[in-house]
Structure 1
Amino acid sequence: MTSSNSPPRQPQPPAVGVLLAAGLGSRFEGGNKLLAELDGVPVVRRAAETLRAAVDGPVLVVVGHDAERVRAALDGLDVRFVDNPDYERGQATSVAAAVAEVDGLDVPDGASEQPTHVVFALGDMPAVRPETVERLLTVARDREAGIVVPTHEGRRGNPVVFHRQHLSSLAALDGDRGGRTLFEREAVTRLAVDDPGIHRDVDTAADLDSVDDGQ
């Protein structure tokens, strides 16, 4: 039992969600894959809704290619947009744009510090379950882990949770590998999940037929 003389527990800083939705998606036939629809809902909106449902802090959506149409597809969602004018140089530029925005976030009311964890998700992965994101965050917080990745049937997937201690390293990346580069030199906590959606991205029109949203 907590003593009445104990200091009040400080609220835990909320996590930040980052949805990377700026890329060209050049392998997709017939337009922007993020705007392709599954049961009448754009792929990117499904991904954003999952992140918004699972993350207790702000959700940032990095846009670049077809930015205005992507914004329109997310109309009405409680998200903030981050523009990446350098999106053609690869995913790392979107990660850097997101990190700069996270660093500039105000400390939430009642919190003692800035957000400590950031969830990086991909806009072309509409089948990830919200409870998977929630479990990743719980493990990251409870174990004070620097990087937490989900696995299904032994294979690593997305999204990934990073502690803010890695933000400067993320901002310094280049190319199109994103945060995966850090996996080669930092400790990574692997969390097995019963969610095949962590592997199911939409790269081609055929992928739309194989994506299962797990409902």
Structure 2
Amino acid sequence: MKRSPDHDQIVGILLAAGRGTRFDPSGAQNKLLQTTRQGDKVVVAAASKLLAALPQVTAVVRNADDAVAHELAELGCQLAICPDADQGMGVSLVCALTQRRHAAGWVIALADMPHVQATTIAALAEALKQGADMVAPFYQGQRGNPVAFSSKHIAELLLLGGDQGARTLLKAHPLTQIEVDDPGIHHDIDTSADLKAAV
């Protein structure tokens, strides 16, 4: 049987298909396209960290023609189109996993978390390579994002739906904790004030 080209790879998955209505209820401003204090667009900063740490990144977007998809494709992300993204984060995640189900594992990141360090992502991937099944970063004792799963959990991950994402799995199985010096794992962009906050 021919093996998938990413069979031995830890693949990055970037969830970038949300509407971000808390940032701008009118929908006029997409929070992922706003500029951080460091001068990068939110989604570009988040994707760049994944791409710096992992050989392949699949980004989930709402459609292939919008500005977010364009930014991600330009960076070199593979796109997973999820027209049903409004049903919740779990649906978006399944959309990406269906494309990359043969990977050795996945680091699942959020596109509205631009301050996560590439070293944190690399540490999660390394933990999977060393045999961990489920990994999360901790900063000052508090769990953050992204999270990582080995291929052992693919069946459960593909059953996810709604807005819970992988949270239910994190509660149901032993979790490998990695302490990181990275406050960015707790900082997402929900409001315009978050763009200006120091991390």
Distance in 1 separating the partners of 2:198 and 2:42: 10
Aligned partners of 2:96 and 2:192: how far apart in 1?
28
Instruction: For 2:42, give the aligned amino acid.
Output: V
Encode CA deviations 1:143-165: one digit per residue, 9 max, x unaligned: x1110000001110001110011
Q: Does the CA contact (< 8 Å) of 1:42 and 1:73 recur in 2?
A: no
Quickly say closer, same or farther: Cα 1:166–1:69, change in 2 above 3 A.
Answer: same
Q: 1:23 and 1:123 mapped to 2: Cα distance?
A: 9
Residue deviations 1:30-67 (CA, integer Å, cap 9, x gap) = 511111111432100100000000013x2100001796
Superimposed CA distance per residue, residues 9-31 of structure 1 (whole angstroms, 9 cap, x where no aligned partner): xxx92211100000111100351
Map of 2:89 onto structure 1 = 91
Task: Look up the match of 1:80.
Answer: 78
User: Counterpart of 2:154?
Assistant: 167
RMSD: 1.7
Q: Is the 8 A contact 1:149 1:188 kept in 2?
A: yes
**What one-letter code is carried by the residue in structure 2 that aligns with 1:164?**
S
Distance between the aligned counterparts of 1:115 and 1:64, measured in 2?
23
Q: Which has the larger radius of gyration?
A: 1
Give every structure 1 segment of 4 or more consecutive aligned residues whose post-TM-superposition deviation is greater than 6 Å.
none
Q: For residue 32 of structure 2, what is the aligned residue in structure 1?
A: 34
Matches within 5 A, 1:57-206: 58-64=56-62, 68-103=66-101, 114-142=102-130, 144-206=131-193
Contact map agreement 1:128 1:198 (CA 8 A) in 2: yes
1:47 aligns with 2:46: yes
- Report the counterpart of residue 14 of structure 2 in structure 1: 19
One-letter amino acid of the structure 1 residue matched with residue 118 of structure 2? P
Which TM-score applies when normalising by structure 2?
0.90
Q: Which runs of 5+ in 1 are unaligned?
A: 1-11, 104-113
The alignment's TM-score, normalised by the length of structure 1, stands at 0.83
Equivalent residue pairs, number: 189
Report the 3-state secondary structure (helix = DSSP H, G, I; strand = E; otherwise coil) of the residue aligned with 2:156. Answer: helix
Q: What residue in structure 2 maps to residue 108 of structure 1?
A: none
- What is residue 194 of structure 2 aligned with on the other side? 207
42-51 vs 170-179, which deviates more?
170-179
The residue identity in structure 1 corresponding to 2:98 is A
